[in-house]
Amino acid sequence: MQNRFNHAVSTLLLVLTMLFGPNVLRADVTGSILGVVRDSTQGVVAGAHIVATNVQNNFKQETVSAADGSFRILALPAGDYKLTVTAPGFRTFTETDIKVKVNDQLHFDVTLDVGSVAEHVEIVANAVQVQTESTQLGDVIDSKKMLALPLNGRSYLDLLGLQAGVAPATAETIQQDRPVSGSLSPGNVSVNGQRETANAFLVNGGDVSEGRNLGAGLVPNLDAVEEFRLITNSFDAEYGKFSGAVMNAITKSGTNSFHGDAFWFLRNSALDANGYFANAAGLPRTELHRKQFGAVGGGPILKNRLFWFADYQGTRQTKGAETTTTLPTVDQRQGNFDTHLLTGTVDGPLTGTGGAQSWAQVLNTRLGLPAGTIFPDEPYSFPGCTSNTGPNPCVFPVDPVSGLAHIPGPTDPNNAWVAPASGILPFIPAPKVAGDVSNNYTDNSQKDKENDNKYALKVDFINKTTGNWSWYYTIDDSIVHSALPFASVPGFPSDTPSRAQQFVMSNTKTFGATAVNESRVSFFRTALHKDNPAGSFAKLSSLGFVTGGLGIIPSTTPGYPEYVP
């Protein structure tokens, strides 16, 4: 009765997984071992019993050799295995130290010697395991290699460029306005000349591609990644709809022994020298404080049956925001301009039509001049012009002492500036370099801040009746404060909060010695609210802009603040 119930539950769960699984690519996160069993005379041995055993958690997958001696063990999670082959009248054959990686198809031919089953032949596998059954091109980078390399930001995606045919994207080739995990690169690379948006990014078999720039939307904790493979060419049909490459990563699982580690990394500008340009501009050293810390750990819940593995990583970063730009000089803020900036003439007719004033009439009104003083085609200013009347006039006469033309501003009796110019000027800082020069403002005192937290939990359950189950959930919360997101001057910061979540459930069930079913359901969601204003809030009307009608139409989003710029 209990067996019937277990089979019913297994069948129901399998059907539900197949029905409700999303219709996306079904990525293989396992490997396989195949080969041929022969005797010492090279005759094939049919009916041999072959068992692949994971030495870390005692997971077993079994099969028997076919009439031609061939065998294939599918759906093996990545790990270290031993292969055991037994047959009546032959010694037991064991091959150890077999490292199965994601997407591997390892070939091991077995030669059985005549003898009793009690006798034993043990072979240690060759460290170089060549795959002769697959045409896929790519390489696997395991955890040991990833952790040994000094990765700035601790993202394994930075290692994609190590493989042949991979060219990292630049700012000129693709828009990259959706960083992942705070400020990490989304991994947009060109593989074999294909577009940077033509790649697939998978974690534990689930698609984690971000929907705008089609890079990675999720980067797990580096210490929690078991390995990843970048398949660059000739990949199997299961990886449909992508013409570039497939980045397939799997995370670590618990084993029969407890294991884990903790880490803490620091970058501090106090240990750095000042940069050349900051030093030349008389600025202090640009601040950079980054702390990355966390821990990973896993072990058994029930030995040989139920395992867990969890991880956390936090990132805290404060980085100086550097800017160099040209701002209005002190003279220009007071309305005094060099004549080379006031070239051109007054356009339009002498008088307006339909009750509207012409441009010449508007200038007369703002400057408090009698009607007709300013006329069409009159120069705005030129060297030597001393009056806006007389035989050789201009709109803005030149001061003979300073040599600058004066446009009356807010402090003058007749203010010629438009209201928005007067309203926005207080938001623009004064230059730091005196004189009429370009790049007269340099600053690195503003701070970009990043706060990122990522959590993950993986549970594996080994059960012959219902099949082997795996559950994985991760969440990555991040908020990035940008000091200079829109403007090149301080005072206009923004905040970008984001969240990425993934849930993967998979089941691998063996039916007899010749059939294996692997099913998986995956959920991935990423949400990002880019550049929410965090300062410089001001009503358009208070700045002098005309709103509504033919003026500026404010945002129709209820409660959304108006801000500068």
CA contacts within 13 A on the Cβ side of 171: 1
182/51 Cα distance (integer angstroms): 45
Distances (CA, A) of 224 to 45, 174, 396: 42, 30, 69
pTM: 0.77
Let me know: does 219 contact 156? Beta carbons within 8 Å. yes
User: How is the chain split into domains, by residue range?
Assistant: 2-124, 327-437, 535-565
pLDDT digits (tens, 9 = 90+) for 203-231: 998 999 988 888 889 999 999 999 888 88
Whether cis (ω within 30° of 0) applies to the bond prior to 497 is no
Phi, psi of 431 (to 5 degrees): -65, 155
Q: Averaged over 543-565, what is the pLDDT?
A: 72
Task: Say whether pLDDT at 16 is over 50.
Answer: no
362/227 Cα distance (integer angstroms): 71
Q: Averaged over 451-467, what is the pLDDT?
A: 94
Question: Taking the domain 2-124, which CATH number applies?
Answer: 2.60.40.1120
pLDDT digits (tens, 9 = 90+) for 355-396: 788 999 999 998 989 988 999 999 999 999 999 888 889 999
According to DSSP, the residues that pair with 519 across neighbouring strands are: 507
447/437 Cα distance (integer angstroms): 26
Three-state secondary-structure class, residue 469: strand
Structure tokens at 16: 């539900």
Of residues 363, 345, 317, the one with CA closest to residue 152: 317
Of the given ranges (170-174, 307-311, 426-430, 511-515), which has the lowest mean pLDDT?
Answer: 170-174
The reported pLDDT for the residue numbered 287 is: 92
Residue 303, number of CB atoms within 10 A of its CB: 12
330/112 Cα distance (integer angstroms): 92
Structure tokens at 502: 């993934």
